Amino acid sequence: MIASGVALLTGATTVPAHAAGVIQNFSATATTLNAVNEISYFPLGPIIPLPVSISRVVDGSPQVVASGKGFVQYQCNGTAVTTYTALDRQLTVPCG
């Protein structure tokens, strides 16, 4: 009780026992594109899924091909080299 009163008076803040980390990844395999967007309160807290989408760039304009929360996956429909975007990243891969 005294420590919290001192913190209020001095403007000091306390550091949580565990820190939050943003987990973002956009990757491709031979058959899929995967995008992850989460916040992890490691090691004891929850993982909070955040909105994420994968877009195919057609004539310079992005067209959403998969969207969701936390993790999304897009199954490749061929081997044509195509550009995709997710999480402010761009991949040009053989995934038609």
pLDDT of residue 3: 43
Q: How many domains does the chain have?
A: 1
Run of H or E residues at 43: none
Instruction: Give domain status of residue 80, yes or no.
Output: yes
Gap between the Cα atoms of 25 and 87, Å rounded: 8
Instruction: Give domain status of residue 28, yes or no.
Output: yes
CATH classification of the domain holding 87? 2.60.40
How many residues appear in the chain? Answer: 96
- The pTM score is 0.76
Gap between the Cα atoms of 60 and 50, Å rounded: 26
**What would the pLDDT profile of 13-72 be if each residue is shown by its tens digit?**
444 555 679 999 999 998 999 999 999 988 888 999 999 999 999 999 999 999 999 999
What is the average pLDDT across 80-94?
95
Task: Provide the domain limits for residue 69.
Answer: 18-94
Provide, for the chain, the percentages of residues in helix, strand and coil under a 3-state DSSP scheme, each rounded to the nearest 5.
Answer: 10, 60, 30
Instruction: Give domain status of residue 43, yes or no.
Output: yes
